[in-house]
Amino acid sequence: MPYDIWNRRYTGSKYKLSDWIIGLINENCEGTTFCDLFAGTGIISAKMLSQISELYINDFLFSNEIIYKAFFEDKEFSNKKLQTYKARYLSIDASKLKDNYVSNNFGDKFFSKNDAKVIGYIREDIEENSSDLNNKEKSILIASLLYSMDKAANTVGHYDAYIKGHTIEDSFIFDLINPYDSKGKSIHISRRDANELVKELSYDIVYIDPPYNSRQYSRFYHVLENITQWKKPILFGEALKPQPENMSEYCRSSATVVFKDLINNLKCNYIVVSYNNTYKSKSSSSKNKITLEDIESILKEKGKLLKFEKPYQAFNAGKTNFDNHKELIYIVKVGNKHVNSYNYTI
Ligand SMILES: C[S@@+](CC[C@H](N)C(=O)[O-])C[C@H]1O[C@@H](n2cnc3c(N)ncnc32)[C@H](O)[C@@H]1O
């Protein structure tokens, strides 16, 4: 079965909340230009696609950018050619492969030794066939590899650590992703720091879902970043991570300041913000960096504020138990920047 955009494990994915979020956007916002600033899996963009004419989708991870290009970019590709690659990748005999970068580093850790050999072989093969593939086809093959890897990974869903103390069975099966038809839509894919991007553009509706705790996405998904970029860096530590890059200010003590700066610079009619109440979490890495009070006071500065909430059991690695976990959606109907706060609804 080809992969849909939500067929991956991703911390903070709003897949299970997406119908609720889209419903709130439809009831409270108007417009055809939509920006998903911290898009993660891209599920919210995917669900908005049919009702908008222009999509801005952004995240600063390389692996997310290639996934957006694969699913959303309005470019031609040959399905027949991709099926030929798939058939070839399905017929690989791991026992005949030599060790490679992936098997040397991640074999018997994040993947079985055989699966790691196959993953490394396929990634190299895509690179070697670059002249046979247009950019869309190459993005589809790399994104398909990332989705197929996720299914075989010996992890709890991210790559901060692998699961120890058992034999890892071979389970990797290559399958293709199923791209969206974005014909006639204007699609803008970027890998920028959200705070920089918003200074340049204006939109009808902006959806904001930054990280709110100290867990850095570039560290959680370093294996996907590594395979996507394919620069084969030297890796460090037990989790075989490269040198840090794309470290988010939203995961640091500066988060409130950065969030305020983002909201101040936004040029749009509606701001839709996801938030949750894990700021009460007992685990320090799960604790929110921005408090509920701060987020509400920053958003109120921008216009009329609406608040919606829903009880929710979020993804976690099993260590943290959030009592009374709630997901919140704030919608700001942007008005005059300096309207008095008593005009706002909350
Ligand atoms: C909570 S996740 C978004 C989840 C997404 N809404 C979904 O449903 O899959 C936050 C995302 O923000 C990205 N991110 C963190 N800091 C960023 C920044 N300064 N600029 C752009 N993206 C950033 C992370 O890579 C991560 O994918």
Residue 17 near ligand 1, beta carbon < 6 Å: no
Instruction: Give CA separation, 12 vs 125, 222, 242, 316, 326, in Å.
Output: 32, 16, 23, 9, 13
Looking at the CA of residue 207, tell me the nearest atom of ligand 1: 6
- What is the Cα–Cα distance from 45 to 48, expressed in whole angstroms? 5
Residue 114 near ligand 1, beta carbon < 6 Å: no
DSSP 236: B
Q: How far apart are the first and last CA of the chain?
A: 44
- Segment holding 269, helix H or strand E: strand 268-276
List, for residues 214-269, the tens digit of each pLDDT value: 889 999 999 999 999 999 999 999 999 999 999 999 999 999 999 999 999 999 99
Residue 193 near ligand 1, beta carbon < 6 Å: yes
pLDDT of 283 reads: 63
Residue 60 near ligand 1, beta carbon < 6 Å: yes
- Closest residue CA from atom 22 of ligand 1: 59
Residue 10 near ligand 1, beta carbon < 6 Å: yes
Under a CB-based contact definition with an 8 Å cutoff, are residues 194 and 248 in contact? Answer: no
Residue 40 near ligand 1, beta carbon < 6 Å: yes
- Closest residue CA from atom 19 of ligand 1: 193
Domain ranges of the chain: 15-343
Q: Where are the alpha helices (DSSP H) in 32-161?
A: 43-48, 62-72, 79-90, 101-106, 113-128, 135-152
Q: What Rg value do the Cα atoms of the chain yield, rounded? A: 21
- What is the Cα–Cα distance from 141 to 180, expressed in whole angstroms? 15
User: What's the gap in Å between 210 CA and the centre of ligand 1?
Assistant: 5
Looking at the CA of residue 44, tell me the nearest atom of ligand 1: 8
Residue 250 near ligand 1, beta carbon < 6 Å: yes
- Closest residue CA from atom 7 of ligand 1: 13
Under a CB-based contact definition with an 8 Å cutoff, are residues 105 and 115 in contact? Answer: no
List, for residues 293-304, the tens digit of each pLDDT value: 999 999 999 999
User: What's the gap in Å between 62 CA and the centre of ligand 1?
Assistant: 12
User: What's the gap in Å between 43 CA and the centre of ligand 1?
Assistant: 12
Task: List residues bridging with 188 in a β-sheet.
Answer: 56
pLDDT grade, residue 282 (50/70/90)?
Answer: low
Looking at the CA of residue 248, tell me the nearest atom of ligand 1: 16
User: What's the gap in Å between 169 CA and the centre of ligand 1?
Assistant: 32
pLDDT of residue 281 exceeding 70, the answer is no
Looking at the CA of residue 40, tell me the nearest atom of ligand 1: 27
Q: How many CB atoms lie within 10 A of CB 192?
A: 14
Task: List residues bridging with 187 in a β-sheet.
Answer: 55
pLDDT grade, residue 286 (50/70/90)?
Answer: low
- Global pTM value: 0.93
pLDDT of 276 reads: 87
Q: How many CB atoms lie within 10 A of CB 269?
A: 18
- Closest residue CA from atom 27 of ligand 1: 40
Residue 45 near ligand 1, beta carbon < 6 Å: no
Structure-token pair, residue 23: 């419903």
Task: List residues bridging with 272 in a β-sheet.
Answer: 207, 331
Residue 258 near ligand 1, beta carbon < 6 Å: no
Residue 38 near ligand 1, beta carbon < 6 Å: yes
- Rounded to the nearest 10°, the torsion over CA 24, 27, 30, 32 is 60
pLDDT grade, residue 137 (50/70/90)?
Answer: very high
- Relative orientation angle of helices 79-90 and 113-128, to the nearest 10 degrees: 150
